[in-house]
Amino acid sequence: MKKGLLLILLAAGMGGQAWSQQLPGNQLAEAHASGNKTAVKPKSTTAATGGDMIVKAVRAYNEKDLDAYVACFSPDVEVFNASGVLMFKGADKLKEHFENFFHANPKVKRRIIDRVVTGNKIVEREELVGLTGGGQSVTSVYELDNGLIKSFFFIGEF
């Protein structure tokens, strides 16, 4: 079901050449967390740049470095839920949301399971661990503009 969902998201308007980063076990997340760029080689410069920004955001998220996390996003970032409803707009609202989220979930970490990059769009299947209510799988879709995350669409809780 989860891989089918990624294909549906790609077919629904994320046209162009896509590549997928798939490694056995948790090697992808470990490669990203360690900054090891030789373990996973993107096929395009756009993919490398976008992927690097997401890795930077995930690292800041996992370290609970709110300022570094918010710096990965456009000042007018838009965050949508799975239904496409705008949850909030702007870096200030993003910071406020995650400040509350991290306070309620001080041990939360994101692990990247799979990533597909198509142009300036990145789809990730992630695992959230350390949530107060237990772990959870999430699918996130990021759109980048000028090197920053312009919009963020997610399926699942974050």
pLDDT in tens, 34-46: 444 333 433 333 4
Q: How many domains does the chain have?
A: 1
Structural domain of 17: 2-155
91-120 pLDDT, tens digit per residue, is 999 999 999 999 999 999 999 999 999 999
Q: What CA–CA distance (Å, rounded) separates 37 from 25?
A: 17
> pLDDT-derived band of residue 133, with 50, 70 and 90 as boundaries?
confident
Judged against a pLDDT cut of 90, whether residue 8 lies above it is answered with no
Which pTM value belongs to this model? 0.70
Q: Which residues contact 105 (CB under 8 A, 6 or more apart)?
A: 130, 131, 132
Q: Which residues contact 65 (CB under 8 A, 6 or more apart)?
A: none
Question: Residue 154: how many CB atoms within 10 A of its CB?
Answer: 18
Specify the CATH number for the domain of residue 111. 3.10.450.50
Q: What CA–CA distance (Å, rounded) separates 1 from 13?
A: 19
